[in-house]
Amino acid sequence: MKILVVDDDLELLRLIAFALRQAGYLIVEAQDGPSALEAFDRERPDLAILDVNMPRLNGFDVLKRIRAGGSTSPVMMLTVRSAEEDQVRGLDLGADDYLAKPFSPRTLLARVRALLRRAGVERPAPLASGDLVLDLEKQSVRVRGKAPARLTNLEARLLQLLLANGGHTLPLDRLTSHVWGNRGLGDRQLLKQLVHRLRRKIEEDPASPRYLVTVSGVGYALYPSPEKA
């Protein structure tokens, strides 16, 4: 499941994103209102978490435009203010929940799960594309014609992002950020080792990969149907 997280506080944004990634969610980040709307239209997330106080367009304005576009995806509002009128305004505009800062990661995750449960998307469906099927609940990958292979947490997170962006080259920093959160930024050697382990589970010949390919000087790309690459 994909969650859009929007906050102009970069440290908090990374903390929220890391907690959600650790829980198995695919995260899209934005730091202001216009970027949030662009990301929402492009990614079509299952849930959006919006900070109220943002530059250029505040969270209320973003929420208003999301609902005006016809989206019924759950939206959670974050604010440092606890005034009742702010909460009423957000709910009147179509917010599904309201969380005041500061909050604990456990509280955030519980509220996120509750929103997704009410929306009927609590459990992630297997992510399938081409020859590959990733089951995050069972933490396994199946290549067409073969038995499922077990994945580690890190392998599953890496494959999740690659499969969700099948056929597109993803830069190294985006991959490390998704897999390890802020702690993994710039740790490219660990990423290289992780790619090697994942190739051993999905490739017929890991030394000559057909699915998970290296794009020199840029990053990696996954082609779920190599014959169409």
All domains in the chain, ordered by first residue: 2-118 (3.40.50.2300), 130-222 (1.10.10.10)
Instruction: Say how far apart CA 159 and CA 123 lie, in whole Å.
Output: 18
Whole-prediction pTM: 0.67
Which is nearest to 215 in space by CA: 184, 175, 180, 187? 175
For the chain, give the number of residues.
229
- The pair phi, psi for residue 146, each rounded to 5°, is -125, 160
The ranges of the chain with pLDDT < 50 are 184
Q: What is the pLDDT of residue 2?
A: 87
pLDDT at 102 (0 to 100): 86
- Residue 98 to residues 37, 129, 151, 160, Cα–Cα distance (Å): 19, 35, 35, 29
Question: Which pLDDT belongs to residue 184?
Answer: 47
Q: Is-contact 139 151, C-beta < 8 A? A: yes
- In this prediction, residue 48 carries a pLDDT of 96
Assess contact for 100 and 82: CB atoms under 8 A: yes
Rounded Cα–Cα distance for residues 26 and 59 (Å) = 21
Cβ contact 62:5 at 8 Å: no
Q: Which residue intervals of the chain are DSSP H helices?
A: 10-22, 33-43, 59-68, 84-93, 105-118, 153-164, 172-180, 188-202
